[in-house]
Structure 1
Amino acid sequence: MRNNPIIYILLVIFAFGCSNTKYLPEGEMLYTGAEVKVKDSTLSKSDRKEMEQEMEDLLRPRPNRKILGLRAKLYFYNIAGEPKKNKGFRHWLKNKVGEPPVLFSQVDMDYNADLLQNYAENKGYFKTRTSADSTSHNRRASVDYTVTTGKRYTIRNVNYPPADSTKIDSVISGLKRWSILKSGNPYDLGDIKEQREQIDKILKYKGYYYFNLDYLLVQVDSTIGNKQVDLFLKVKEETPEKAKQVYTINDIYIYPNYSISDKEQTINPDKDSITVYKDFKIIDPDHTFRPVIYDRTLYFKKGDIYNRKDHNLSLNRLVNLGVFKFVKNEFRPADSTNTLNAYYYLSPYPKKSIRVELLGKTNSANYNGTELNVNWSNRNIFGGAELLTLSVFGGMEVQVAGQNKGYNVYRVGGEASLDWPRFITPFKVHSASGFVPHTQAKISYEYQNRRKLYSLNSFRAQFGYKWKENIKKEHNLNVFDINYVSPATVTDLYRERIDGDPSLKNVIEKQLIFGPTYSYNYTNTMQEYKRHTFYYKGSLDLSGTLTGLLSGANVKKGDTIRILDVPFSQFIKMEHDFRYYLKLSRNSQLANRIIVGVGMPYGNSGELPYIRQFFSGGTNSLRGFRARSIGPGTYRDDIDEGSFLPDQSGDLKLELNTEYRATIYKIIEGAVFVDAGNIWLWNDNRDEDGNIIKPDGRISKDFYKQLAVDTGIGLRFDFSFLILRTDLAFPIRKPWLPEGDRWVLDRINFGSSTWRKENLVFNLAIGYPF
């Protein structure tokens, strides 16, 4: 027994658990929780379990929290004793780390039973019976609640106000066809509340500014028998007359430089300070903004019927202009009958500002680092809420673990951007969403030095549009996107590697890429209450299309066209990133991702330019493989230890990931994952003599047999301002091995230092991988 470590562990766990009760006051017991059992033969097992879980969430107080089955916080609270000071280690341990005991004497079983009874009746179980019984042992006590529901009541009829009584009754009656409450549905108080909210919302859309849902009454008649109810929806008799009237917009006042100290001026503005522009009365003596921005932003015009949708859209667009720190709006009765004056109080940001940012970064090549940004902004450079930003940056990235450790990357550069809060086009374009469309122009330069290897100069210019249909859908179109890359220095070490692998020359060749780009984003992941949520990003990159077609460029025939002595790139590239999140419980979910990327070089190009190619492997990709080391196809570049590992790139990509995530304790989340994928080439890489450089790298009908697969576990630390992620992974399928030997599950040996060195990959990153 003395040599058995399991016995020691069990004894420690037993002592850890028992020690919490000896600190309890005399006559008290530790409350360990409650369980609800629902007795209902008509409910399915899953529905009954769900109902029991919802009921248990209502019970109070909650017992002391457990970590791995142990009440660690209570233990720390107890061993801290009574600190003599309001500071120091013991005070911190007791009050910050620890948690006081939840005593059984604090539990009001009758109150909790009433809560469960009310919950069941609100769900239509009007004949519910609830009982509670406690169990105690070794100074611990728990409670069992039994809820016997009986048959659930259903709705027989839903009665709306007569359509010919009053105007508002007529409107409400017309909403019957879209009602949530329908004959045959189970009775649910939640549905009744939702129906009232829906009617109130629609009435606000139709001009009933002073109406609110408290003026709606739903009466329930449960005496009709046969476990059914009749519902009667009506407007309360005491509803004020003004709540039954439709209101229109009269005058619209705008205060672009509002502050609290100007309250008297906002109530009685000086007539000389008012500028009239179309339907707007603007109180802006300094003429800070050109009045046209309000015409583009506000949906209300004089004489319009009040509409809550236009109300919210106007506020959203004012906020999205990006020049106002605070946006406030109110409506007041005008002198004429059933009209409202609208007032917009806008507090602008300082026109000019400078911001310094120190960032932590991680990238797909498994590099981590830091970056310093200095940004200067002018938020209203031309008086139309245009944003001019000038920025400079510098940073470094290092590989913490991996074969490229020591080959650090240093970056410096700058960018100038100008953003107009509208579409700038030869023809008029109207956006009806609550998000202001933007026209953007950018020009940037970056110098990148990859230590011991090479350095590159990169210039880029873009002009395009960014707009949102709604909170879920976003578009980004660059009418032109020009990227020019040229080498600055190349080391002898890198030139030696080119002799062995001519494809590495692509990295340091001059590259000229120009053409339109487009991306589309859809997501509903912000709707946390949903069980199923999605994210999709699709992108399209067209380079040199018209120029190549007009010039007749054909690299296969030797007809390569140069611009400024640089062959321009001609290709079509598409990438699709689809993610699906399944919420399993309050603290766990299953995250899934599929990436499909296709790049097709043609005309003036035999392959994609290096900066537009696909890569696989690394912290946000296949985590059981070194960054950018997989493929193409079954190709494997065997590099001596101590030498740098070159990035493997391809024209096509397929990647599949799935990850189970669950909260372990507060800010700590655990994960178990599986990744699969690879990259391929459209055409074989060949050297000057025509020899294939990367055998079996070309796409074929057997591409699915060439997938790399890994698995692993990870921890995520959510510090609110960032998520620090650690993953430990290893390969379970290696595509470069002979077919039939690629699955390596039978070779896993955690006890072997050689296996661990060759297979275990540790990833340190910021943020989720997807």
Structure 2
Amino acid sequence: MKLNLSKITLLIVITGLINSCNSVKRVAEDEYLLLDNDVYVNEDKNKTEVINNLIYQQPNRKMFGIPLRLYIYNSARPNIDSIINAGIDKNPKKRQRLENKLSKKQLDKYVESRKSFNQWLKETGEAPTIVDQEKTEKSAKHLKDYYFHNGWFNVDATYNIEEIDKQRAKVNYKVKTGQGFIIDSISTKIATPAVDSLYQKSKEESIIKKGEQYKTINFENERNRITNNLRNSGVFHFSQDYIGFEIDTVGTNKKVNVGLQIKNRSLRTQDSVVRRPFNIYKVRDVNIFTDSSYENKGETATNTNTFNGYNFYSIGEMKYKPKAITNAVFINPGEVFKDSDRTLTYRHISELKTFKYPNIQYIENPDTTLTANIYLTPLKKFSLGFAAEVSQSNIQTIGFSVNPSILMRNVFNGAETLQLSAFGSIGASKDAGNDKDQFFDITETGLDLKLTLPRLLLPFNTERIIPKYMSPSTRMSVSYTGQRNIGLDKQTLNGVLNYRWRPSNSWTNRLDLFNIQYVRNLNPDNYFGVYKNSYNTLNNISQDINYNNGEDLTFPDQTDDFINDVLNENTAITPSDPEYQTVSDINEREQRLTENNLIFASSFGFTKDNRTNLFDENFSIFRLKLELAGNLLSNMSKIIGQDKNEEGKYEIFNVAYSQYVKTEFDYIKHWDLSKKNIFAIRAFFGIAIPYGNSTNIPFSKSFFAGGANDNRAWTAYNLGPGGTSSTNEFNEANMKLAFSLEQRFNIFESLNGALFVDAGNIWNVFDDVEDPNATFDSFGSLKDIAIGSGFGLRYDFGFFVFRFDIGFKTYNPAYNENNRWFNDYNFRNAVYNIGINYPF
């Protein structure tokens, strides 16, 4: 019987896997593979992450209960060089035959490839964790130290190695804590009276409290608290080294008496060290050097200026308005020294994006005052940027885009930045609405101008309401984009006046005083060339009644004529027929999506983000936004007595402007479960209600569902509204609910996995859509929430994460209510998503 090559290969792979799945394959006979660590505290098993992290040796990591990386490591061959060469030299003439057949160079490459693959298996895999006596003893000591520093001073920790079989074992750690020690009294001995006075004012904030169990970390935190308090109260020379604690437990019956000592300042002379009381320092002068670059090293400032008590020095004429700089400086002449003022100044000057990270130095004066010297190094006046991209989508075979930009700093000498960026792309369409001779028939161009000011640009003083520590800024932008052979070939003009400020490190506010957007459709006649599902539905109805003698409708003329004839009851279709409603819905959607839009909106939003750093995985983010559009224009129209058009709407430049209220709530929460195991949730609710001059929401302001960052079991714009069957290419509505749960875990090294469940949908509400399957009319409409589930892989490159997710339609509201669960739960109907970074 003749076996083909594929069967032979499969047999070899299976044999290799079975052979490598022996977990003790690389464990010596006198060694033990560590299977588990069990920690018993006062005879109760403790599996908390805090305790587990105290163990120096951990078992090989498992995925779904299988030590996969250990098996990969075991599949590598030790001493691979000897094995390969022994195989070749087993027959004295074999090496010579191979060299004659392959050449010596090719034979060397073959041997090297075998060695490289073997090394890759070792590096990708994970070596077996062998029970190490020394590390086990260190783990027991680590456990003992942990409980000792948390107040169990009579703790004892032991261990025993439990043999499971000949080459496998687990380690049992047993901790007996005894009774915890409680803080009974706190006394102080502070040498400097001024320091003692400052301590007494803040002692209620002490982290060490009478009646609580002793914890070493609390003493470290209290030392930091006292130091920060004194350093921010004028005690310039103070440091943690001056703080000491005396802990007395002798004869106290498990009580702790704490003695806090703060010594005088230590001054070193040539012969000895003397102690002197600390002094409270004030800042006498603040000198700001605006040209402190390497090129100007050694040059003397030729220009001196004073503003609000600040001294400015520059080489030649100063290029910056003093107020723009002092708004970012928190070290004030005449005030008590505060270390926090220096930190704030560092941050706010960096945020100007005009200078490099500043250098701030304090000089002590004989009269117990300080002189603060702030050295600023200007960044280059101009910066150039460039980005390019190659893309492919559902409307183009291939596309190329470029995005050049130029940034100009200190435009008006007030640390303003002006950025001009352009966007241009060309692409080859898959299915253009009109036939084109050229290959690249898609073009898109854009221009964006942004001016950012490091202050609020308002006709009145906002310092009392929004002080400078909140980093207020103003941004004005104007942008234009134009498209050809993309959809309806839109032209968009946008203007924004925006204010931002941060009341705290975790809180950011944004106010768009106005956001004006004008959207003009250049090619509305191509509507049915873009929305082909609508055209196919309309054309099928036409053919069913033989409207066009069985011929396909041409657009726009014949499609418009057919719609008008149906709605005017000039065909066999009557208003009681379902086809009549279908045609009416198509007509309403066409009219809405082909009309030009003018949006004059104002909005306010805030974000609360309590992440402490980029690597924090235990945080929450809450976003809220409220947007109002059209109210100002509506009131003006009424005041001047403007006439309405035939549809009862006010117009500006022959365009009916939009009027609506829109709000969005977004909540994200991450729980760090340790070992790169993260549980994340997201909840989103958005609604936009038209009123006054509008009966619906502009397409650009509506909501959609599906996509790589939403419900991943559906492609973008393909879900909803409600329980409809998604006959449109771009489904959108004015209300949205979305929920996501995701369990993220590490597979090995930089490769991570995820299991997720996404739920949500979009609906029409309070607008002119009357389809009951698409509208949200009661809580009963929640039955149309779509549910998708799936899994994904993520590779962390450090500066970004590459993401691949597979979403399965678990509950599809497009089907009948008794046939919605797991109807399309298979790989054929799955949606494959590629994204950059995490979805939330």
The answer to whether structure 1 residue 310 and structure 2 residue 341 are counterparts is yes
SS at match of 2:619: strand
The answer to whether structure 1 residue 150 and structure 2 residue 154 are counterparts is no
| TM-score, length of structure 1 as denominator length | 0.84
The answer to whether structure 1 residue 330 and structure 2 residue 361 are counterparts is yes
Deviation at 1:161, TM superposition (A): 3.7
Counterparts of 1:488-527 in structure 2, within 5 Å, are 488-490=522-524, 491=526, 493-494=529-530, 497=534, 499=559, 501-502=586-587, 503-526=589-612
Structure 2 equivalent of residue 735 of structure 1: 813
Aligned partner letter, 1:514: F
CA distance in structure 1 between the partners assigned to 2:393 and 2:229 by the alignment = 47
Deviation at 1:106, TM superposition (A): 8.3
1:664–1:670 CA contact under 8 A, matched in 2: yes
Question: What do the CA deviations read for 1:241-288 (whole angstroms, capped 9, x no partner)?
Answer: 5772211112212222223576656xxxx4644433332222211323
Counterparts of 1:386-535 in structure 2, within 5 Å, are 386-395=416-425, 411-430=444-463, 431-432=466-467, 434=469, 436-449=471-484, 451=486, 453-490=487-524, 491=526, 493-494=529-530, 497=534, 499=559, 501-502=586-587, 503-526=589-612, 533-535=619-621
The answer to whether structure 1 residue 40 and structure 2 residue 42 are counterparts is yes
Deviation at 1:718, TM superposition (A): 1.6
Deviation at 1:372, TM superposition (A): 2.8
CA distance in structure 1 between the partners assigned to 2:796 and 2:484 by the alignment = 33
Question: What do the CA deviations read for 1:485-540 (whole angstroms, capped 9, x no partner)?
Answer: 11123436248746552203422321111121222111113468988521111112
Closer/same/farther in 2, CA of residues 651 and 22 from structure 1, 3 Å limit: closer
Counterparts of 1:617-632 in structure 2, within 5 Å, are 617-632=706-721
Structure 1 equivalent of residue 89 of structure 2: none
2:56–2:138 CA contact under 8 A, matched in 1: no
Aligned partner letter, 1:257: D
1:709–1:734 CA contact under 8 A, matched in 2: yes
Aligned partner letter, 2:142: L
Rg larger for: 2
SS at match of 2:320: coil
Structure 2 equivalent of residue 275 of structure 1: 305
515-524 or 133-142, which moves further after superposition? 133-142
CA distance in structure 1 between the partners assigned to 2:785 and 2:602 by the alignment = 32
CA distance in structure 1 between the partners assigned to 2:608 and 2:397 by the alignment = 29
Question: What do the CA deviations read for 1:99-137 (whole angstroms, capped 9, x no partner)?
Answer: 777666684444443333222211111111222434566
CA distance in structure 2 between the partners assigned to 1:674 and 1:257 by the alignment = 56
SS at match of 2:145: helix
The answer to whether structure 1 residue 171 and structure 2 residue 167 are counterparts is no
Counterparts of 1:47-446 in structure 2, within 5 Å, are 48-50=46-48, 53-60=49-56, 68-70=66-68, 71=70, 74-75=73-74, 79=78, 81=80, 90=115, 93=120, 97=124, 107-134=134-161, 143-161=171-189, 166-236=193-263, 239=266, 244-260=278-294, 270=300, 272-286=302-316, 287-334=318-365, 336-358=366-388, 371-395=401-425, 411-430=444-463, 431-432=466-467, 434=469, 436-446=471-481
CA distance in structure 1 between the partners assigned to 2:157 and 2:809 by the alignment = 54
Question: What do the CA deviations read for 1:600-627 (whole angstroms, capped 9, x no partner)?
Answer: 1111111011111111122222111232
2:192–2:264 CA contact under 8 A, matched in 1: no
1:160–1:173 CA contact under 8 A, matched in 2: no
Closer/same/farther in 2, CA of residues 23 and 227 from structure 1, 3 Å limit: closer
Structure 1: where are the runs of 5+ without partners? 401-405, 639-644, 687-691, 751-755
Closer/same/farther in 2, CA of residues 282 and 549 from structure 1, 3 Å limit: closer
1:16 is matched with which residue: 16, 20, 23? 20
Deviation at 1:318, TM superposition (A): 0.5
CA distance in structure 1 between the partners assigned to 2:42 and 2:343 by the alignment = 45
CA distance in structure 2 between the partners assigned to 1:719 and 1:170 by the alignment = 53
SS at match of 1:480: strand
The answer to whether structure 1 residue 667 and structure 2 residue 695 are counterparts is no
Deviation at 1:708, TM superposition (A): 1.7
CA distance in structure 2 between the partners assigned to 1:714 and 1:366 by the alignment = 27
Over the matched positions of the two proteins, sequence identity in percent amounts to 24
CA distance in structure 1 between the partners assigned to 2:203 and 2:394 by the alignment = 54
Deviation at 1:580, TM superposition (A): 2.0
Counterparts of 1:672-711 in structure 2, within 5 Å, are 672-683=755-766, 685=768, 694-701=771-778, 702-711=780-789
Closer/same/farther in 2, CA of residues 242 and 516 from structure 1, 3 Å limit: farther
Deviation at 1:6, TM superposition (A): 13
CA distance in structure 2 between the partners assigned to 1:179 and 1:529 by the alignment = 29
2:683 is matched with which residue: 591, 594, 598? 594
1:206–1:307 CA contact under 8 A, matched in 2: yes
CA distance in structure 2 between the partners assigned to 1:722 and 1:531 by the alignment = 16
Structure 1 equivalent of residue 543 of structure 2: none
SS at match of 1:347: coil
**How many residues end up aligned between the 2 structures?**
727
Closer/same/farther in 2, CA of residues 395 and 127 from structure 1, 3 Å limit: farther
Aligned partner letter, 2:225: Q
CA distance in structure 2 between the partners assigned to 1:22 and 1:670 by the alignment = 28
1:160–1:172 CA contact under 8 A, matched in 2: no
1:536 is matched with which residue: 612, 622, 629? 622
Closer/same/farther in 2, CA of residues 257 and 595 from structure 1, 3 Å limit: same
Closer/same/farther in 2, CA of residues 274 and 360 from structure 1, 3 Å limit: farther
CA distance in structure 2 between the partners assigned to 1:657 and 1:394 by the alignment = 35
CA distance in structure 2 between the partners assigned to 1:371 and 1:572 by the alignment = 35
2:654 is matched with which residue: 565, 575, 581? 565
CA distance in structure 2 between the partners assigned to 1:106 and 1:264 by the alignment = 62
1:534–1:581 CA contact under 8 A, matched in 2: yes
Structure 2 equivalent of residue 634 of structure 1: 723
1:247–1:305 CA contact under 8 A, matched in 2: yes
SS at match of 1:49: coil
Deviation at 1:371, TM superposition (A): 4.8
1:160–1:176 CA contact under 8 A, matched in 2: no
Question: What do the CA deviations read for 1:408-458 (whole angstroms, capped 9, x no partner)?
Answer: 98642110111111111100112436453211111101123464x431111
CA distance in structure 1 between the partners assigned to 2:60 and 2:246 by the alignment = 42
1:555–1:603 CA contact under 8 A, matched in 2: no
1:208–1:243 CA contact under 8 A, matched in 2: no
108-117 or 361-370, which moves further after superposition? 361-370
Closer/same/farther in 2, CA of residues 81 and 20 from structure 1, 3 Å limit: farther
CA distance in structure 2 between the partners assigned to 1:318 and 1:616 by the alignment = 41
Question: What do the CA deviations read for 1:19-75 (whole angstroms, capped 9, x no partner)?
Answer: 875586xx874763772523326x8x6xx432xx43442444666666641425744
Aligned partner letter, 2:361: E
1:656 is matched with which residue: 739, 742, 748? 739
Aligned partner letter, 1:372: V
CA distance in structure 2 between the partners assigned to 1:712 and 1:145 by the alignment = 39
SS at match of 1:664: strand
Structure 2 equivalent of residue 753 of structure 1: none
Aligned partner letter, 1:175: S
Closer/same/farther in 2, CA of residues 19 and 548 from structure 1, 3 Å limit: closer
CA distance in structure 1 between the partners assigned to 2:212 and 2:429 by the alignment = 60
| TM-score, length of structure 2 as denominator length | 0.78
Aligned partner letter, 2:333: K
Closer/same/farther in 2, CA of residues 531 and 49 from structure 1, 3 Å limit: farther
Which structure has the higher relative contact order (CA within 8 Å, separation 6+)? 1
SS at match of 2:178: coil
622-631 or 421-430, which moves further after superposition? 622-631
Closer/same/farther in 2, CA of residues 598 and 684 from structure 1, 3 Å limit: closer
Structure 2: where are the runs of 5+ without partners? 1-6, 83-107, 268-274, 431-438, 536-558, 560-582
Closer/same/farther in 2, CA of residues 684 and 347 from structure 1, 3 Å limit: closer
